[in-house]
């Protein structure tokens, strides 16, 4: 990653969820290193005490943009890698993995001894039209060991910076791959850039099994750490759906929704389109990533309780889902408490 001290401080809980206690090494170029060196080193110690193998490093060049630093960190990653390292990921600081094992399994299906460039496209076709085919950085760009070692020498990396625009990190990576190797992008289902605005309820309630989440504290807001805590209790169960009776769906870690007209009126095989447009008046297309969509269900036809907290103690997990009432009309808040026991 490449980011600032304050964003790195803010990201400790979310990064800690997926990186703590792992053998993966986390390399971060800290853009304001020269202004906050002592603070940065102290924060590195905090990350390591949290079980994260963190290496916070200064920019390779004071004149580099964040996007350029985001690419140049690959050189340090390659230097510190050993024969056990099979994959290198270039991520944003808000790239979030609900559970790291599915990512390891998905990448493990490919041959890391060959040149491989793996990632996900943006969901909004307007992004593809504007920026092209590439691994979009919020989902992450993943390079096999063979390709990373080819592109991650200092001389080669500097040449790639000279050949690409300085402020588009995803394009720097793509151009370097395309110009200096025979690798082409491999799209891996399950990666999500989340170039989607506003309400992502339809995504989270669709039964999707995401390898990652992105933009969760900017383009939309979701308590991803509390949401994904369920994975520590029941493994790859995040967002798994359960149907109760004829009117209720639990989307594990996100919501409980009760439909007044019953579930038979809803096509649960399609994702509900709840988010807003990214590119103004353009007619957005999402189906090539998200599949066929269905229209949004209005609030007067459903009651939705959203996850607020998750606690695990021994063989028990406790989740609280909250629905805020309309206080102006005297409607009370409602809480669903869900207890899981092994």
Tell me: the pLDDT tens digits for 196-223? Answer: 999 999 999 999 999 999 999 999 999 9
pLDDT confidence of residue 280: 65
pLDDT confidence of residue 333: 96
Residue scoring higher pLDDT (312 or 236): 312
Mean pLDDT of 312-335: 95
Give the dihedral of Cα atoms 156, 103, 185, 139; nearest 10 deg: -80
- pLDDT tier at 168 (50, 70, 90 boundaries)? confident
Alpha carbon distance 25, 142 (integer Å): 14
pLDDT confidence of residue 282: 60
pLDDT at position 284 over 80: no
Under 8 Å between Cβ of 304 and 259: no
Under 8 Å between Cβ of 57 and 73: yes
pLDDT at position 278 over 90: no
Q: How far apart are the first and last CA of the chain?
A: 37
- pLDDT tier at 283 (50, 70, 90 boundaries)? low
Mean pLDDT of 239-261: 97
Percent of the chain clearing pLDDT 90 (strictly above): 89
Q: Which domains does the chain have, with CATH numbers?
A: 2-187 (3.90.550), 222-341 (no CATH)
Mean pLDDT of 114-129: 93
Under 8 Å between Cβ of 89 and 120: no
Distances (CA, A) of 310 to 96, 103, 223, 230, 256: 18, 23, 10, 8, 14
pLDDT confidence of residue 126: 85
Burial class of residue 320 in the structure, from the number of CB atoms within 10 Å of its CB (0-12 exposed, 13-18 middle, 19+ buried): middle
Percent of the chain clearing pLDDT 70 (strictly above): 99
Alpha carbon distance 138, 122 (integer Å): 9
- pLDDT tier at 110 (50, 70, 90 boundaries)? very high
- pLDDT tier at 76 (50, 70, 90 boundaries)? very high
- pLDDT tier at 173 (50, 70, 90 boundaries)? very high
Give the predicted TM-score (pTM) of the model.
Answer: 0.94
pLDDT at position 125 over 80: yes
**Distance of alpha carbon 159 from the chain centroid:** 29
Mean pLDDT of 317-327: 95
pLDDT at position 336 over 70: yes
pLDDT confidence of residue 226: 96
Mean pLDDT of 138-147: 96
Mean pLDDT of the chain: 95
pLDDT confidence of residue 281: 59
- pLDDT tens for each residue of 6-63: 999 999 999 999 999 998 999 999 999 999 999 999 999 999 999 999 999 999 999 9
Mean pLDDT of 281-296: 84
pLDDT at position 250 over 80: yes
User: Which stretches of 135-264 are DSSP H helices?
Assistant: 145-151, 154-163, 169-180, 201-204, 224-228, 231-234
DSSP state of 133: S
Under 8 Å between Cβ of 129 and 195: no
């Amino acid at each position: 990653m490449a980011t600032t001290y304050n964003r790195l401080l803010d990201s400790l809980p979310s990064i800690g969820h997926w990186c703590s206690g792992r053998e993966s090494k986390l390399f971060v170029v800290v853009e304001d290193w020269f202004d906050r060196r002592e603070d940065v080193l102290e924060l590195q110690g905090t990350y390591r005490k949290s079980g994260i193998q963190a290496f916070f490093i200064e920019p390779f060049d004071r004149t580099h943009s964040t996007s350029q630093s985001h690419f140049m960190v690959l050189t340090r990653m390659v230097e510190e890698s050993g024969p056990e390292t099979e994959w290198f990921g270039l991520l944003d600081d808000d790239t979030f993995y609900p559970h790291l094992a599915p990512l390891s399994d998905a990448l493990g299906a490919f041959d890391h001894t060959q040149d491989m460039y793996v990632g996900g496209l943006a969901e909004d076709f307007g992004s593809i039209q504007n920026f092209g085919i590439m691994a979009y950085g919020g989902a992450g760009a993943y390079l096999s060991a063979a390709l990373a070692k080819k592109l991650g020498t200092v001389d080669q990396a500097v040449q790639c910076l000279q050949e690409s625009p300085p402020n588009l990190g995803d394009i720097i990576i793509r151009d370097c791959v395309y110009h200096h190797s025979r690798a082409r992008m491999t799209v891996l289902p399950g990666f999500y850039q989340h170039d989607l605005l506003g309400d992502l309820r339809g995504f989270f309630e669709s039964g999707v099994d995401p390898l990652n989440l992105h933009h969760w504290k900017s383009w939309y807001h979701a308590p991803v750490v509390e949401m994904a805590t369920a994975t520590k209790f029941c493994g790859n169960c995040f967002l798994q759906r359960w149907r109760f009776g004829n009117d209720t769906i639990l989307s594990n870690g996100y919501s409980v929704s009760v439909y007044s007209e019953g579930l038979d009126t809803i096509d649960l095989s399609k994702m509900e389109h709840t988010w807003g447009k990214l590119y103004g008046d353009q007619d957005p297309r999402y189906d090539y990533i998200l599949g066929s969509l269905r229209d949004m269900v209005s609030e007067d036809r459903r009651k939705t309780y959203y996850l607020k907290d998750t606690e695990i103690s021994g063989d028990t997990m406790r989740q609280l889902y909250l629905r805020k009432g309309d206080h102006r009309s005297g409607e009370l808040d409602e809480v669903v408490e869900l207890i899981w026991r092994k």
